[in-house]
Structure 1
């Protein structure tokens, strides 16, 4: 069996497959539901996935290698990275859950058609960030996300967002880092891990094969020389995980003699992985608060569209709860806006205080220099007086010596 990393090389088109095998290493007559390397429990690939049909159509670098020289032309795989923040809160049976869902999608069609008319490499990984929870938590998560706009949702909408972004008509490879926890949340949300999913790859396990050791996502990105920022934001982590995956594929080829086509592909993968990170956008607290308000209002409208009989039978309790929830949400939004203003005011006060302190230190430095100059002048004057005293003493001694030699003046001594 191939290792997990050999599988990822397969779907990137850096290894070709044996004749007669399809995606996942299955024969053409095999069902995609029996994807190799994954059992019915949807385990993460560990000891090697059955070969995936190459998405880039590259030949094996070794003509006599175990996979021959078949040029695979299937380039229709989606690499989907998923990351959750606040896993326990999302899976908890509570009314209010605080968590984030990050999704990043790399379409291998873009890799195979990367011509001047293709999307720029900075936009080849499309990233989404969804957040649920109290307004202050949502505002903090939105402020940290680097790759676009954070969308506030209810926890019950997470599965809907996943299904709307991930097309089940395409072959999909799921990617994550330390993916066991994220996999638990996907099961909790009733996300189908079998339909159109070829395999699940964990960059931590692949890093152990390429780098001889694993570690946190931060450690792996640092060792690979991949730019990153604001980790532990679901959308950011979802974006940086496939970047790490591509760089691991590139690193596995170091020291090999490559065909020109393979080298071009590796250069493209490296360019995508090391493309610049967008500058952190200015966070508009008021605009985000308005989004939260619209979200709450949409939920209230959905509640009003219930069957009339059901509304009448449960009118008093739910209506009161919705009204109370609306008040709480508005209070929380106002509190978040005030907190944002207060943090801006504190930042301004801190900057002014720092400037005043620097001015005080500068003034104090002038005073100290003046004191030092006065002390130096006093020391010079004292030294001059001492020199004069010493000269006077020498003159007196010379006069006494002369007087002692004189017979008349000697009588005075």
Structure 2
């Protein structure tokens, strides 16, 4: 079994529970068709002609009062991100991994549907809701959140995804009384413990950095739910490199397509840049050069005109060049003589 260097080094003093292989990771492997079912729980039917399960990955994060039982109508933000394995299978089967078109790559980011709901009004929530990166925040009444979430799930089997246990998130969902229960609850912190060889609670930012995933404006409900799903997908790619039960030969074509597709989805989002589109990194031959606006008063032939130097500044520049030249000569005089004859000695040999 391959392990990271930190786990191999006995002098690092890592606890015995470093990198535990938890049931959550085994279940996640099975949902993606990368492993067997480790439990007796029925994890949904498989998709036709695919090893993927016919489910929804529903990532939820709630920002608000800690005790939702005592403050069900208190202002809060509810972030929801959903990845449908049917859409994932369609992307895997209809788009070639070797050569993806630009229009297809532009739609990769849209395979995950993200929503942010604002319940109630407060200045603090209004500011935080404006930081949502994946759409517009929707104002909604507390009694309408249940209907909104039910409409998103649409009587499908789903797996709940949270980060760090999501105690407050689960309390909020229990208060909604959806009438349906998830097939399984995946805590990304536990899923990533073996692939990242962790032994303490990483923050979401640290997990994303360890997986080399971009992120921005965390601690916003909608962004946390989305980036949690990104971390979950990228964990599967990282996990494949450290599995002890994978075949020694190259992975099968279907496994390669699965790993390549979820890696592309996890990395599709980039920090927005005003000067270039967020997906320009996907095209090596697509380089956007900064356009220089020509002003005839300040520029000539596309180059900025430097202000004319005064006689004093010109004299100072000549003096600096003279001192630098004398310094180089002094340095060469101190250099051993054999360095100058090294080329001749090599030629003679």
Tell me the TM-score range normalised by the shorter chain.
Answer: 0.5 to 0.7
1:322-377 Cα shifts (integer Å, max 9, x gaps):
xxxxxxxxxxxxxxxxxxxxxxxxxxxxxxxxxxxxxxxxxxxxxxx99x98xx9x
Find the residue that maps to 1:113 and give its secondary structure.
helix
Structure 2 residue aligned with 1:176: 162
Please show how residues 76-95 of structure 1 align to structure 2 within 5 Å.
Answer: 76-88=54-66, 90-93=68-71
Looking at structure 2, the residues matched to 72 and 53 of structure 1 have their Cα atoms a distance apart, in angstroms, of: 13
Q: Distance in 2 between matches of 1:275 and 1:208?
A: 24
Which structure dedicates a bigger proportion of its chain to helix? 1
Tell me the secondary structure at the aligned position of residue 217 of structure 2.
coil
Higher alpha-carbon Rg: 1
Aligned pair 1:131/2:108, yes or no? no
Query: Per-residue CA shift, 1:85-138, capped at 9, x if unaligned?
Result: 01327544486x221001111000112121149892111100000012325234
- The higher-RCO structure (CA 8 Å, 6+ apart) is 2
Give matches, 1:290-369, under 5 Å.
none
How many angstroms does 1:277 deviate by?
A: 3.8
Change in CA separation of 1:2 and 1:280 when aligned onto 2, cut-off 3 Å: same
Give TM-score, length-normalised by structure 2: 0.61
8 Å contact from structure 2 (residues 117, 137) kept in 1: yes
1:90/1:99 contact within 8 Å kept: no
Q: Does 1:267 align with 2:260?
A: yes
Contact 1:145–1:280 (8 Å) recurs in 2: no
The match for 2:173 among 186, 209, 214 is 186
Give the TM-score taking structure 1 as reference length. 0.52
Gaps of 5+ in 1: 18-23, 27-35, 37-50, 58-70, 282-368, 377-413
Q: CA deviation at 1:165?
A: 1.6
Change (3 A) 1:236 1:2: closer
Preserved CA contact (<8 Å) 2:64 2:75: yes
| Number of aligned positions between the proteins | 244
Partner of 1:52: 43
How far 1:158 sits from its partner (Å)?
Answer: 2.3
Unaligned runs of 5+ in 2: 1-20, 96-102, 275-308, 317-349
Checking the alignment, whether the CA contact within 8 Å between 1:87 and 1:185 is kept in structure 2 is: no
* 8 Å CA contact retained: 2:31, 2:52: no
Q: Does residue 221 in structure 1 map to residue 208 in structure 2?
A: yes
Alignment of 1:203 with 2:188, yes or no, is yes
Aligned equivalents of 1:137, 1:276: Cα separation in 2? 27
Indicate the RMSD between aligned Cα atoms, in angstroms.
Answer: 3.4
Q: Aligned equivalents of 2:104 and 2:159: distance in 1?
A: 22
